């Protein structure tokens, strides 16, 4: 029998806040509400995410972020619940990684009351003032714990981070089970938090 996933105090990711701000400013900026834009798009617009975005930009003069927000909200991706994002990340073939994820997140949150976890669709950034770590289920058997450790030499276990798209993140450690969160990894995690 599968264990019930733990519940964590997630924050709302900045991209979701940005999308909500765009949606609330639509009447002032365009003269139409979000609902009006969605109705118009459903009635007269094309199908498909890219085609809809292009139609809103070209035919209606909307900016990229505005068009993307309208389309994503219309397609049900505009206001994701953080818990739902995590559930989707650790569903199916990656379900076995959930205990390792929960151990990493629990330890991160124990570092201080100023730690916030803000799930996205493919990873969970951990922030104080800035992102100091990222928990990303990379394969069916491995989570990449990416850390901001400037000036720390890489090792066989602590590898140089590549391609995450978050400039502050410098290193990555592979994690497969809760046992991988050993004293060495906790020290690196703490060092990233304190930096």
Name the domain count of the chain. 2
pLDDT under 50 in the chain at which residues?
A: 1
pLDDT of residue 6: 67
Whether the pTM exceeds 0.75: the reply is no
| Residue 126, domain extent | 82-194
Under a CB-based contact definition with an 8 Å cutoff, are residues 147 and 135 in contact?
no
118 and 40 in one domain? no
Under a CB-based contact definition with an 8 Å cutoff, are residues 135 and 124 in contact?
yes
100 and 46 in one domain? no
Q: Classify strands 124-127 and 116-117 as parallel, antiparallel or unpaired.
A: antiparallel
- Does residue 114 sit within a domain? yes
pLDDT of residue 165: 67
145 and 119 in one domain? yes
- Does residue 2 sit within a domain? no
62 and 134 in one domain? no
119 and 68 in one domain? no
183 and 115 in one domain? yes
98 and 63 in one domain? no
């Amino acid at each position: 029998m599968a264990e019930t996933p733990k519940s964590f105090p997630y924050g709302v990711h900045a991209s979701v806040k940005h999308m909500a701000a765009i949606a609330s400013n639509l009447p002032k900026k365009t003269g139409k509400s979000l609902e009006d834009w969605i109705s118009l798009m459903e009635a007269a617009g094309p199908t498909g995410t890219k085609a809809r975005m292009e139609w809103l930009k070209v035919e209606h003069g909307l900016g990229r972020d505005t068009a993307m927000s309208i389309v994503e909200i219309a397609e049900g991706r505009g206001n994701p619940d953080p818990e739902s994002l995590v559930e989707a990340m650790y569903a199916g073939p990656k379900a076995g990684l959930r205990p390792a994820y929960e151990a990493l997140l629990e330890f991160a949150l124990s570092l201080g009351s100023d730690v916030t976890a803000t799930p996205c669709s493919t990873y969970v950034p951990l922030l104080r003032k800035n992102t100091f770590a990222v928990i990303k289920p990379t394969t069916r058997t491995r989570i990449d714990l990416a850390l901001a450790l400037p000036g720390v030499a890489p090792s066989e276990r602590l590898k140089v981070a590549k391609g995450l798209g978050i400039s502050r993140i410098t290193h990555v450690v592979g994690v497969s089970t809760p046992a991988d969160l050993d004293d060495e990894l906790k020290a690196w995690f703490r060092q990233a938090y304190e930096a």
